[in-house]
Amino acid sequence: MTTQVIPKPGKPWEVSVKERSKTGSLIVLAAILAGALVKLPDLLDEAVVKFPDFLPWDVVKLPNIVEALTGIDGKLGFAISFFLIATALTFFRVLRTSDIRAAKDTLLSSFALLGIVLTLIPIVSIVTTVFIKGYKGIHPGLFFNDMALNSVNDPIKEGGLLHALLGTTLMVFGALLISFPIGVLTALYLTEIRGKLARPIKFLVQAMSGVPSIVAGLFILSSLVYPVTKELSGIMGSFALTILMIPTIARTAEEMLRLIPNDLREAGVALGATQWRTISGVVLPAAKSGLVTAIILGVARIIGETAPLLLVTGGGDALNANPTSGPMGSLPYYIWKAFLTGGTEEAFARAWGGMLVLLVFIFILFGLARFLSGRKVG
């Protein structure tokens, strides 16, 4: 008696080895054709074109015509040629083996992939440049010294950015103390209360998200610094950053509160709790991780702002732990001053080092936000 072997069902999304080999061959062919197209003027360096006697031209070298018509040369020309040739070959291959709808889907997928690549190129370029140039400005004393007795042109191992780190921390913390309760209360009004002012408030929050940072700085400068305090200080920087931070916290908290199941709210009301009792005892604890995410995204939004701090904090190279009195430094001001007033390799190394520290800090914040937002709400 023979045992019938039931074949294991395949997975429809898996690509066979044959299809992979065909795709690889197509990519290699596209690369060869793109390289040949880009190098064609060099290969035909001696080729010329003889025009008829009735035309005003006499003899023109063929490479000049090819380059004028295509406009492609170097690595950029190769990349453009490779994409166009690979897309065309893929389109006709799918059209030959399937129908026109599948070929159109392949064409759209290719351009979607191009969009992703064009988005990643500047991001990867910025991150790579900052890390390559920034590590030269990192040294052991960078986080333990200020620039009170040094200039940006001094040897790189002299001075540091302790004053900038402290100033940034104090100003961001001050902005957070003001922005978080306002942003959460705004989100609660939009999601729980839903009063008559919900629509205009939501519109204002969305509009504030697009306010240029320098406008926030000018507002604090004209409304508080000149008429009231008459002094540049760190607390003024916190007020300016608050204007930029509130929309981020409010919108993120609103989205997180909308993820809370209505069953929890209805259960609280069924047990006899008031609306605010339900909000404080059920809704807010369930959205705790989402609110922490709102805080992190709000901090990441303002930590690199430069324009408002240049206007209202006065900068500063010395350590200042009092945000209500005297100029206060910050990481963006440290970077800006090193680039502007320097001009030497040491100054540029300090600026790139400050950018690296700021970028790493922002990456850490976004990583935490990503981790917390991935946790189950409630």
pLDDT at residue number 289? 84
The answer to whether residue 184 sits within a structural domain is yes
Q: How far apart are CA 156 and CA 142, in angstroms?
A: 9
Q: Which of 74, 98, 129 is the last residue of a domain?
A: 129
Residues 105 and 210 in one domain: no
Name residues whose C-beta falls within 8 Å of residue 141's C-beta, 6 or more positions apart in sequence.
157, 158, 159, 160
pLDDT at residue number 66? 44
The answer to whether residue 325 sits within a structural domain is yes
The answer to whether residue 14 sits within a structural domain is no
Residues 104 and 207 in one domain: no
pLDDT at residue number 150? 85
Inter-residue contact 110 to 87 (CB < 8 Å): yes
Strand ranges inside the chain, DSSP E: 48-50, 59-61
Q: How far apart are CA 279 and CA 273, in angstroms?
A: 10
Residues 249 and 360 in one domain: yes
Residues 67 and 93 in one domain: yes
Inter-residue contact 293 to 369 (CB < 8 Å): yes
pLDDT at residue number 64? 44
The answer to whether residue 7 sits within a structural domain is no
Domain span holding position 102: 20-129
pLDDT at residue number 65? 45
CB-hemisphere CA count at 13 Å for 193?
Answer: 15
- pLDDT digit of tens for each residue in the chain (378 aa)? 455 555 555 555 455 667 777 778 878 888 888 777 767 666 555 555 555 555 555 544 444 444 555 555 667 777 777 888 888 888 888 888 877 888 888 888 888 888 888 888 888 898 999 999 888 888 888 889 888 888 888 888 888 899 999 999 999 999 999 999 999 999 999 998 888 888 999 999 988 888 889 999 999 999 999 999 889 999 999 999 999 999 999 999 999 899 888 888 888 888 888 888 888 888 888 888 888 889 988 998 898 888 899 999 988 888 888 988 889 989 999 999 888 877 788 889 899 999 999 998 888 888 887 777 665 544
Q: What is the DSSP string of 137-197?
A: G--GGGGT--STT--TTS-TTS--SHHHHHHHHHHHHHHHHHHHHHHHHHHHIIIII--TT
Inter-residue contact 245 to 298 (CB < 8 Å): yes
Q: Which of 100, 129, 158 is the last residue of a domain?
A: 129
Q: How far apart are CA 359 and CA 131, in angstroms?
A: 9
Residues 69 and 164 in one domain: no
Residues 225 and 115 in one domain: no
Number of domains in the chain: 2
Q: Which of 67, 97, 129 is the last residue of a domain?
A: 129
- Identify the helix (H) or strand (E) that includes residue 329: none
pLDDT at residue number 211? 87
Q: How far apart are CA 193 and CA 274, in angstroms?
A: 12
Q: How far apart are CA 187 and CA 305, in angstroms?
A: 24
pLDDT at residue number 168? 92
Name residues whose C-beta falls within 8 Å of residue 243's C-beta, 6 or more positions apart in sequence.
208, 211, 216, 219, 220
pLDDT at residue number 52? 58
Q: How far apart are CA 129 and CA 148, in angstroms?
A: 29
Q: How far apart are CA 133 and CA 355, in angstroms?
A: 10
The answer to whether residue 80 sits within a structural domain is yes
